[in-house]
């Protein structure tokens, strides 16, 4: 069982196994029927009908430009919030077939939009624009479902929230838990979490998407600038600068010796690998 370290129960989708939660001792895990009731509540909070009407805009979509970018009928180009590619599995965990995840996600997005008659309802995220100045938007389908969550629940993508945590992030992670539990899409041919020890610092493919990695925290370096957790493999997990404000109650040294699951993009750093995380739901402690 895994628990996130925010001190709050992770939202769950229907038919989700109870593998999300909070730091050991911070909150009691809930099981059985209570999980199902929370799943229903989480799903309801994700739907369009439960959102504030302020800022909502109905639009038509002209075409898909990439796995998370759309050209609207009014000429704007927007970036959808919440979608990320999965990094290729390391060779030791190689899938039976090439998933071609970039094309698969784009195809899945195009198919959902075709079913929706190229219509969406949008709301700006926080922040409202990405580093290139493109509008960042949450998008809902005409049936009221959050588009990113539906794609993630089908196993077409991994969740990638924005740099500032917000309530809809829980919908993305609940959808990912549902896809893992059902072994759908990208979760059909990969483990729910890769052992940190199988990662290879020379594997350049890792930097092209997100991974879910499990390992034991061997040591923690806490400085005025950042926290770095060294796992029992070639991976360091970095929480930097103001990102530490997202974990107001976390004492990083307390994680030494704990088994954790982290989500993010892995990249080379000196003779090791590094993953920077900034979202509370991207760090879990395994019971």
Q: Please give the angle made by the CA atoms of 271, 276 and 281, to the nearest 5 degrees.
A: 140
Whole-model pTM: value is 0.82
Q: Please state the rounded mean pLDDT for residues 263-281.
A: 93
Alpha carbons 128 and 287: distance in angstroms, whole number: 37
Please give the distance of CA 238 from its chain centroid, rounded to a whole number.
17
Query: 114-173, pLDDT tens digit by residue?
Result: 999 999 999 999 999 998 899 999 999 999 999 999 999 999 999 998 888 999 999 999
Query: 241-269, pLDDT tens digit by residue?
Result: 889 999 998 888 999 999 999 999 999 99
User: Beta strand 272-276 with 235-240: parallel, antiparallel or unpaired?
Assistant: parallel
Any idea which of 52-61, 93-102, 190-199, 277-286 has the lowest mean pLDDT?
93-102
Q: Please state the rounded mean pLDDT for residues 160-188.
A: 93
- Residues 144-164, buried b or exposed e (16+ Cβ, 10 A)? ebbbbbbbbbbbbbbbbbbee
């Amino acid at each position: 069982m895994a628990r996130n370290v925010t001190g709050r129960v992770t939202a769950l989708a229907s038919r989700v196994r109870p593998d999300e939660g909070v730091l050991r001792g911070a909150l009691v895990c809930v099981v059985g029927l209570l999980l199902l009731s929370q799943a229903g509540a989480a799903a309801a909070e994700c739907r369009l009908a439960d959102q504030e009407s302020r800022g909502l805009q109905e639009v038509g979509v002209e075409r898909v430009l990439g796995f998370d970018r759309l050209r609207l009928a009014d000429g704007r180009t927007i970036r959808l919030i919440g979608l990320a590619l999965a990094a290729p599995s390391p060779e030791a965990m190689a899938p039976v077939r090439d998933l071609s995840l970039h094309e698969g996600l784009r195809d899945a997005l195009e198919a959902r939009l075709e079913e929706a008659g190229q219509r969406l309802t949008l709301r700006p995220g926080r922040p409202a624009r990405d580093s290139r100045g493109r509008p960042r938007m949450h998008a809902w389908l005409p049936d009221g479902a959050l588009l990113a969550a539906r794609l993630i629940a089908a196993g077409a993508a991994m969740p990638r929230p924005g740099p500032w945590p917000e309530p809809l992030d829980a919908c993305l992670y609940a959808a990912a838990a549902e896809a893992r539990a059902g072994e759908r899409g990208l979760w059909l041919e990969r483990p729910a979490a890769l052992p940190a020890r199988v990662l290879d610092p020379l594997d350049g493919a890792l930097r092209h998407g997100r991974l879910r990695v499990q390992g034991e925290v061997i040591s923690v370096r806490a400085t005025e600038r950042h926290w770095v957790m060294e796992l029992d493999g070639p991976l360091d997990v970095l929480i930097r600068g103001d990102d530490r404000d997202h974990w107001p109650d976390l004492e990083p040294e307390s994680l030494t010796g704990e088994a954790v699951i982290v989500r993010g993009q892995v990249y080379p750093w000196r003779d090791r690998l590094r993953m920077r995380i900034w979202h509370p739901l991207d760090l879990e402690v395994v019971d």
